[in-house]
Amino acid sequence: MAWDEWEQLKSRAADKQSTRLRLNSAADTAGGTGGADLVVHQDDLGAVGHEAFQLHARLHDQVDIAGAGADDHGAGTTMQAAAALKSHHFAMGAGLETTVSVWTSQVKAVLQAFAHISNHLDYSKKLHARDDETIAADLRGRDGSAVSASVLNSYFK
């Protein structure tokens, strides 16, 4: 393909597109800053991950009805009550066991979700920080200064 043919193809493609290529940004529809330079706030990721970690810890400590007041066999007071009710032929004993089983299952699911969110955001924060360092090291001008995203964007016009 000849150079002038390449330029014609680029020109036709540019005419068909209504928006330019944007580096890590979108059209400013919500009245935001709309700056052209790439900005990532790693603290936001860390803060949400930390909140998820704290919620996980609080839930783990405060909602364990199956293990609360455990006896020598590991049965909590709620399960002990269920066993006592069943031994006296109360149908409520089986219902209470089912309630504890379902509750425990649901709590474990929520705990896993919080752990996943916390771990994922901590990982994302570290990964993006490394990516930012790599990109900053690779994108240097001739004089050694960093090249901003707005300058990079001008190459794609």
pLDDT in tens, 82-130: 999 999 999 999 999 999 899 889 989 999 998 888 888 877 777 877 8
pLDDT at 109: 92
For the whole prediction, is pTM greater than 0.75? no
Decide: 153 and 23 in contact? Cβ < 8 Å.
yes
Decide: 117 and 52 in contact? Cβ < 8 Å.
yes
For residues 86 and 80, give the distance between their C-alpha atoms in angstroms, rounded to a whole number.
10
| Distances in whole angstroms, Cα of residue 97 to Cα of each of 22, 93, 100, 132 | 57, 6, 5, 52
Bigger pLDDT: 141 or 21? 141
pLDDT at 36: 47
Mean per-residue pLDDT, 11-26: 59
